[in-house]
Amino acid sequence: IRQHLVKAKKLEAVEQMGAAISHEIRNPLTAALGFVQLLQESDLDEKKRDLYLSLVKGELESAERVIQDYLTFSKPSFHTLEELNVSEELAHVLTILQPLTNQNSVLVETNFSLNGLIKADRQKFHQCFLNLIKNAIESMPDGGVLYIETQSTSSQVTIQIKDSGVGMTRAQIERLGEPYYSTKEVKGTGLGMMVVYSIVRAMKGTIRVDSEPEKGTVFQISFPAY
């Protein structure tokens, strides 16, 4: 009975989160729709038209950001555990982030171990590292170096993500993972690290953060080896 209660509670938390997220997506969509309706009015001068169009664009981008941070790889129903080679999966995430890497003039260096197998849900693994690597790239808006390393022993697989970006203060590090905590103003959702922590916890992994303002940040994530 006790186990059932715990499960029910967990489900409730997930449902509440789902409700909060659909709210985060619906709000900008509703706003965009409102501006589209205004655009349909016949006697609209060019200045107003441009303003409404840029507002529509901004709202749609905001909805897209929530989907990328929270839902990009989510799929309906069952979660299958597979044997994953972490280096191969990280290479895939880097490919997805190539446009952002180019846009920020970020140089990518990798040192991938050939081994390093874990048992995990591939989509969740991708969602987690998409958020970590995206944050690293976003911390270097004027360029820098992103270094990703994987290491494996018989008991652990460790992934290190290092950037030469803006870094964080101790107080900022302590707020990581708090829902909606973001220093990126309109460009942030504050959902990415919450997703990271919840996935790593579910995978029985650990997260270490070392950061220094203006120097950069290192995230070290370890999982039990398969």
Give the C-alpha separation, 193 to 180, whole Å: 9
Instruction: Find where tokens 């920020």 sit.
Output: 104
Question: How far apart (Å, rounded) are the C-alpha atoms in residues 52 and 35?
Answer: 6
- The CB-of-129 to ligand ADP minimum distance in angstroms stands at 12
**In Å, how far are 17, 25, 136, 160, 166 from 109, measured between CA atoms?**
35, 35, 13, 12, 19
Applying CB under 6 A, which part among 7-15, 33-41, 112-120, 189-197 lies near ligand ADP? 189-197
Of 97, 163, 200, 222, the one binding ligand ADP (CB under 6 A) is 163
Q: How far is the CB of 75 from ligand ADP (least distance, A)?
A: 21
CB 146 within 8 A of CB 108: yes
Please tell me whether residue 192 binds ligand ADP under the rule CB under 6 A: yes
- How far is Cα of residue 147 from the mean position of the Cα atoms in its chain? 18
Shorter beta-carbon distance to ligand ADP: residue 34 or 177:
177
Among 93, 193, 199, 200, which residue sits at the site for ligand ADP (rule: CB under 6 A)?
193
DSSP H/E element including 122: helix 122-138
* Neighbouring C-beta atoms of residue 226, cutoff 10 Å: 15
- For ligand ADP, the closer of residues 39 and 210 by Cβ is 210
Is 144 one of the binding residues for ligand ADP (CB under 6 A)?
no
- Enumerate residues 12-51 that contact ligand ADP by CB under 6 A: none
Using CB under 5 A, pick the residue from 192, 203, 211, 217 that binds Mg ion.
Answer: 192
Select 135 or 158, whichever has its Cβ closest to Mg ion.
135
Distance CA 126, CA 116 (A): 16
Please pick, from the candidates 14, 88, 183, 201, the single residue that binds ligand ADP as defined by CB under 6 A.
Answer: 183
Residue 20: phi and psi, rounded to 5, are -65, -40
Residue closest to ligand ADP when measured from CB atoms: 192
**Residues linked to residue 119 through DSSP beta bridges, in sequence order:** 83
- Give the one residue of 85, 131, 152, 222 binding ligand ADP; rule: CB under 6 A: 131
Whether the CB-CB separation of 159 and 90 falls below 8 Å is answered with: yes
Query: What residues make contact with Mg ion under the rule CB under 5 A?
Result: 135, 192
Binding site for ligand ADP (CB under 6 A): 69, 131, 135-136, 139, 163, 165-168, 172, 176, 181-184, 188-193, 217
